Structure 1
């Protein structure tokens, strides 16, 4: 079921890629750093608001896959200290293959990626500090495979719930949209993709957006609306990075 208000459904993210927010060469996910290290170009009032709510930030490579990579890394990192929650998420990922099959994907097109995803989760079970997770996400084959699987899962969920999502897609058909915009690597995500993946994985997300708002304050979006977010992201010039609240 979906309970999103209209302002959330019609909130559309700018699709221009942000080349100003970059990790170090060879990195897909950076180390966690004090937030004061970054964001020097953000308007002063918004910068103060970010610093008042968040202490750390982790940068994600600006390659068009930043949302998927940020969601995956950030959520897995949040589960490292909770064995039961990590087990539940691993089961969710294992079962997600049924979503792809229901949408008509051949198992051979995603089985290897799904197996790699589950393998990363199993390695994370013995990793309390996050060192293994960061290492795996900076290995291109592993990192990109997980992103690609999330793209396929998003596409499958959109198509399996076409009665809802087709109203919010600007394309000849939902299938065309999924093939061109969702399944293809390096294509920036749109709001419908975020809603779909959040629902498919059961992950609640809070997005603090430098874009929008009243000009001097951040715009805040929680997906699904009213949920307690387990992941905080900063949206700036079509790019997503991971934020860490002061209480963490």
Structure 2
């Protein structure tokens, strides 16, 4: 009979395998808890430098951790915005991906997952409208609760992960010259499409740098990945210079969680708000 111990938002078996009770942690934790959460060995602590961050949010490690962390963090920030510019921009972006998929002539689950993704964005709009005249604190609490509820079940999220994986695959195969040099093992009878349908689109497949780059370039969402055990942070995609919702994740060697930068100063926040209101200036 296996013994289990409580470990933050889940439980761990005697082999140290983490079994989460939540797909996305309902509470964020102080960034200082990262050391304990991942049981970082004492001789490795000196290499862990996350001073730029205040908190982190653990997610379940089921093979979809990158996609789950990425889209949850992104939508969490969209919900915090008072305007709807980002939702409109993203809808226009995924429409372009829809056209690219049609041009590739693939038989896939893209149309179905595309509809599921648009429905999720519609939900986000409804959540943002709720409590418009209520206090900001109660409104934000409601929005976050609805987002956490959506991401608590495979029934609601599975099609979203299918869509994000297909977006990455469409981006890769629509820009062969950019991605073929990055992928080893391609040959006449094993082309880029074969690689995508074997390595990118199947559920629970691990996500590497190529797939991350393809997804964020396709959606035009800035992404930075910090490494738990040292090394320089990777700016996977930085965007065109226009201030935009950006995502920061923590990579542990085989898993991704969400981390939150320290809040910007009041002066910086005011400047960013002005840039959002006047993006063409």
TM, length-normalised to structure 2: 0.72
Name the structure 2 match of 1:220. 233
CA distance in 2, matches of 1:89, 1:77: 14
3-state SS of 1:243 partner: strand
Alignment of 1:141-180 (within 5 A): 141-172=155-186, 173-180=191-198
- Which of 14, 24, 28 lines up with 1:29 in the alignment? 24
Structure 1 distance, partners of 2:56, 2:153, is 21
> Displacement of 1:174 after TM fit?
1.4
Contact 1:70/1:240, CA 8 A, preserved across alignment: yes
Render the CA deviation track for 1:152-187: whole Å, top value 9, x for unaligned: 111111011111201111233212210110011111
SS in structure 2 of the partner of residue 186 of structure 1: coil
Q: 1:92 to 1:222 in 2, by over 3 A?
A: same
Aligned structure 1 segments of 4 or more residues deviating by more than 4 angstroms? 19-23, 225-229
Larger radius of gyration, structure 1 or 2? 2
More relative contact order in 1 or in 2 (CA 8 Å, sep 6+)? 1
Aligned residues: 221
Secondary structure, aligned partner of 2:92: helix
Instruction: For structure 1, list consecutive stretches of 5 or more residues without a partner in the other structure.
Output: 1-18, 214-218
Counterpart of 2:123? 123
Cα deviation, residue 224, structure 1:
2.1
For the residue of structure 1 that corresponds to 2:61, the secondary structure is coil
How big is the shift at 1:74? 1.0
Residues 175-227 of structure 1 show CA distances to partners (whole Å, capped at 9, x for unaligned) of 221011001111111211111111100011011112452xxxxx211122586
CA–CA separation in structure 2 for the residues paired with 1:87 and 1:21:
41
Deviation at 1:91, TM superposition (A): 3.1
**TM value normalised by structure 1:** 0.80
Deviation at 1:89, TM superposition (A): 1.8
Kindly report the root-mean-square deviation, in angstroms, between the aligned alpha carbons of the 2 structures. Answer: 2.3
3-state DSSP of counterpart to 2:193: helix
Q: Structure 1 pair 184/142, CA: closer, same or farther in 2 (3 Å)?
A: same
